[in-house]
């Protein structure tokens, strides 16, 4: 059920990339103007994460998801009525951003921590891969709807699909194994859960405790770059960038979906590896390979489809492969019971980076006429992130050495 919910959320989050060109043609809005709405959406998508995790601890996962789905359906369903940019900012920026924020990475983290002790990394990888599967399932169809029937029909189709998912979540979703009289998978004794508390107080307490740890800042800084180079840049601007190079929009959407195919493989393997190897070194190689692939992208778009396929394979294997090791490292900041809230704040940094990149790339495209500077800058940022993650845990390792001396 969690995989299904994350699948639906991924389809909703992928839609702005499909809407940019149709909205530009229909209303004459610039890409910079449309990108502001995407930035608001991505920012709230991240900022709602830690509060959503706290609400799940207090009221249960099922209630939070049902409320979020209804909010998303309202925001997307009202989209065909808009005529001004501020309406786009409210509907897709505020309403849909808040709704999808409750189904962010904290859902996968909370479910994995509550239901699994053994194979937790693999399960996190599988749930995270739902984001890629959502792109695979929805993007080409949404692009075809937008091109052949108009973006309004595509919006109504998404709203209808979200409403259909509400009864399934209400009937099938369960909050924790303890409420069913079970133990988490692989546990030989009861595993403590975070005690119910005021959601806002618990979320802020998690932030207050996390900021005292240098590892939190290293995770937040690297995940800021992760968001900037995935959802913010590629997820939002790859389709319009491909259209700039003469690639049809449906074909460009299929390219992004193909990235999702490879990401299912990459993220699942990443979860498997996180159970067995040092998460810091996994992140080091993920960010390095992503940076090199982004440096290739400006040349791939203007070259042959074979060169573009090389980018799709290498970048796709890395799309959200960073999530399982980042979740594992986040759980070490304040303990596993509050791992969901800590990762929620780290994920908020991810979405802050995504919002920055979505807006900045749109502005650069409007100013310079292409995305080349945006893509190359993103590649260099990934190489910086690889240097940040390798420093995680050094303070914790240094302290015992100092005490021994």
CA of 181: how far to CAs of 54, 57, 84, 114, 177, in Å? 23, 18, 52, 13, 6
DSSP string, 163-225: HHHHHHHHHH--S-SGGGT---BT-SSPPP-PPP--HHHHHHHHHHHHTT-HHHHHHHHHHHH
In sequence order, the 6+-apart residues with CB closer than 8 A to the CB of 204 are none
> Of all residues in the chain, what percent carry a pLDDT higher than 70?
80
pLDDT at residue 143 above 80?
no
pLDDT tens for 64-98 read: 888 888 988 888 889 888 888 888 899 888 898 88
pLDDT per residue over 48-62, tens digit each? 777 877 787 778 888
On the question of pLDDT at 249 being above 60, the answer is yes
pLDDT on residue 207: 77
Question: Which domains occur in the chain, in start order?
Answer: 2-175+202-397 (1.20.1250.20)
Q: What is the mean pLDDT of residues 174-178?
A: 67
Reported as a single tens digit per residue, the pLDDT across 320-335 is 788 889 888 887 665 6
């Amino acid at each position: 059920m969690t995989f299904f919910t994350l699948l639906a959320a991924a389809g909703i989050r992928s839609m702005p990339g499909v809407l940019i060109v149709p909205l530009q043609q229909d209303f004459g809005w610039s890409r910079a103007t449309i990108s502001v709405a995407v930035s608001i959406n991505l920012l709230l998508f991240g900022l709602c994460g830690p509060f959503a995790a706290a609400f799940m601890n207090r009221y249960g996962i099922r209630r939070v998801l049902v409320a979020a789905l209804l909010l998303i359906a309202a925001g997307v369903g009202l989209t065909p009525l808009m005529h001004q940019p501020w309406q786009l900012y409210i509907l897709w920026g505020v309403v849909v951003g808040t709704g999808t924020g409750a189904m962010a990475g904290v859902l996968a983290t909370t479910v994995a921590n509550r239901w699994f002790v053994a194979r937790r990394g693999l399960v996190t990888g599988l749930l995270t891969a739902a984001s890629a599967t959502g792109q695979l399932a929805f993007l080409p169809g949404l692009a075809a709807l937008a091109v052949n029937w108009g973006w309004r029909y595509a919006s109504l189709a998404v709203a209808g699909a979200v409403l259909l998912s509400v009864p399934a979540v209400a009937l099938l979703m369960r909050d924790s194994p303890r409420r069913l009289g079970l133990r988490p998978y692989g546990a030989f004794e009861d595993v403590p859960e975070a005690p119910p508390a005021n959601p806002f107080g618990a979320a802020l307490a998690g932030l207050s405790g996390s900021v005292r740890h240098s590892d939190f800042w290293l995770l937040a800084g690297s995940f800021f770059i992760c968001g900037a180079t995935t959802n913010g840049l590629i997820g939002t601007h790859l389709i319009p960038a491909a259209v700039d190079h003469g690639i049809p929009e449906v074909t460009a959407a299929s390219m992004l979906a193909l990235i999702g195919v490879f990401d299912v493989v990459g993220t699942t393997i990443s979860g498997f590896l996180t159970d067995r190897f040092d998460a810091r070194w996994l992140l080091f190689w993920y960010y390095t390979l992503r940076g090199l692939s982004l440096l290739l992208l400006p040349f791939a778009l203007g070259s042959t489809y074979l060169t573009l396929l090389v980018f799709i394979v290498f970048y796709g294997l890395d799309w959200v492969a960073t999530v399982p090791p980042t979740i594992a490292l986040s759980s070490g900041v304040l303990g596993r019971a509050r791992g969901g809230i800590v990762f929620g704040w780290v994920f908020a940094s991810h979405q802050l980076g995504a919002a920055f990149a979505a807006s900045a790339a749109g502005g650069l495209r409007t100013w310079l006429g292409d995305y080349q500077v945006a893509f190359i800058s993103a590649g260099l940022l990934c190489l910086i992130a690889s240097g940040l993650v390798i420093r995680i845990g050094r303070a914790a390792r240094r302290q015992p050495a100092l005490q021994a001396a």
